[in-house]
Amino acid sequence: MNASQDPTPAGRLHDLLHPEVLAAFDRDFFEREGYWVWEGVLTDAGQQHWTASLQKLQRMNDAIVVGTDWAAIDYASCGLPEPAPDQTTPEFLAACCGGSEQMRFMPPELRAYMYEHGLFRTGITSVAEDFEWQGMMPEYFPLAYDDFILDVTTSHPQMMELFGQLLGERFLIDHCLMLNRPAGSRGRRWHAHPYRQGQYEVESETGDGHALTTQFLAQQCVRTLCYPEGMGLGDGGGELAVIPGSHLYRIPYRWNSTRTEYDDEMQTNWIAGKIHAFTGEPLRIERLSLSPGSMVSFVHHMPHHVGHRDLDAPTRWGLLMAYRTPDPKASPAQWNEGTPIHWAERVEAADRLTPAMRRIFEGDDPSA
Ligand SMILES: O=C(O)CCC(=O)C(=O)O
Ligand SMILES: [Fe+2]
């Protein structure tokens, strides 16, 4: 595909990223350590737009949470469990607002149903007066609700250059979530992620370390987190921590099991005895601290942790953008599994699916 054939969105912010930060990417460091910090990569305007979009999307998500009559949905006809009555009261729903991972009324089945089928199709009329409901919550697919986020996650040349440096010429969306961490957010305990559904993993979830290698995987999923207002020590807690070099063990740590480990347990249960494949040095935890306008990218086999946010901390704004290389053995499919098909088909039918967007959403083997 030739990106120059793409229409330029009317409102595109051309100077989104600082080109010199993009150009400073060090492939050797990334492959060896498993992560890369794009320090201060957003321009001032990029930072402002990014924060404003995440704040707007959070308000939309909150409006849907409190404005929907969740008890009135015919769950049985969708094959879904009924929510507990005490989880659909106005008080309960009000406590599910203000940030990500707060929607405790939403069972995993309902989240999956929205993604796969789209709930209500279009139009939650009571709440969506100033925007159109897209079948799933803004938190779980923010690009469907905001043109700036759609552009930066699918089309913007500077962002596509950034992802291309990480993943090579062709990459597909794996998932894109808001991770706005409000005061009191509990973060995520130590874990890593598999490529696709885990069918190529050579180690179990906890692993015995036999696959340690200095080779970088070609079939790769890379998470990029953008923190437009920064993320770090002293800004209210809940930092992201990684273990440089730990991706070379290829252990998709606790991707599918309960995660309970804080740093001490991780040190004893997993890190002890493990070494960096390049240097032979013992592995160690690194807590990241990123200035405003920064992003960090890290590979899916790298265990990572997000701490608790202080009870009086301001919300930390964050967007997770995960992309992967195509799977050469995947069956032909029109859309990849990171794309809500009902949404992509509506966009396509409305003639709004550009070649750039198709490149991100199409199947690994799009010949279907
Ligand atoms: O919450 C965050 O800021 C990052 C979390 C994350 O990337 C993850 O757990 O995959
Ligand atoms: Fe994670």
Of all ligands present, the nearest one to the C-alpha of 301 is 2
Ligand 1 nearest-atom number relative to CA 100: 1
Strands 319-324 and 188-191: unpaired
pLDDT of 1:
45
Sequence-ordered list of residues with C-beta below 8 angstroms from that of 205, at least 6 positions apart, any chain: 251, 252, 253, 254, 255, 256, 257
| pLDDT tens-digit map of 16-62 | 999 999 999 999 999 999 999 999 999 999 999 999 999 999 999 99
What distance in Å separates the CA atoms of residue 42 and residue 32, rounded to the nearest whole number?
Answer: 25
pLDDT score at 71: 86
92: CB partners within 8 A, 6+ apart? 86, 104, 105
Whole-angstrom Cα distance, residue 57 to residue 38?
24
Residue 344 one-letter amino acid: A
Closest to 175 (Cα-Cα) out of 323, 4, 354 = 323
Ligand 1 center to 177 CA (angstroms): 9
User: What lines the ligand 1 site, CB under 6 Å?
Assistant: 179, 181, 188, 223, 225, 240, 304, 306, 318, 320
Rounded CA-CA distance 196/207 in Å is 18
Ligand number, closest to the Cα atom of 191: 2
Q: Which of 279, 239, 281, 292 is nearest to 262 (CA)?
A: 239
- Specify the pTM: 0.96
* Residue of the CA atom closest to atom 1 of ligand 1: 179
pLDDT at position 125, please? 54
pLDDT per 10-residue tile (average), the chain, 368 residues: 69 96 98 98 98 98 92 87 91 96 92 91 61 93 97 98 98 98 97 96 95 96 98 93 98 95 98 98 98 97 97 97 97 97 96 97 93
Count Cβ atoms below 10 Å from residue 112 Cβ, excluding itself. 13
CB atoms within 10 A of CB 204: 10
Q: How far is residue 37 from each of residues 25, 227, 320, measured CA to CA in Å?
A: 9, 11, 14
Exposure b/e, 57-66, CB count within 10 A at least 16 = b = bbebbbbbbe
Can you read off the two tokens belonging to residue 17? 């990223």
On whether the CB atoms of residues 33 and 126 are closer than 8 A, the answer is no
In the chain, where are the structural domains located?
15-43+142-328, 58-137
- CATH class for domain 15-43+142-328? mainly beta
Tell me the ligand closest to 223's alpha carbon: 1
Nearest residue by C-alpha to atom 9 in ligand 1: 188
Which H or E element spans position 32?
A: helix 27-33
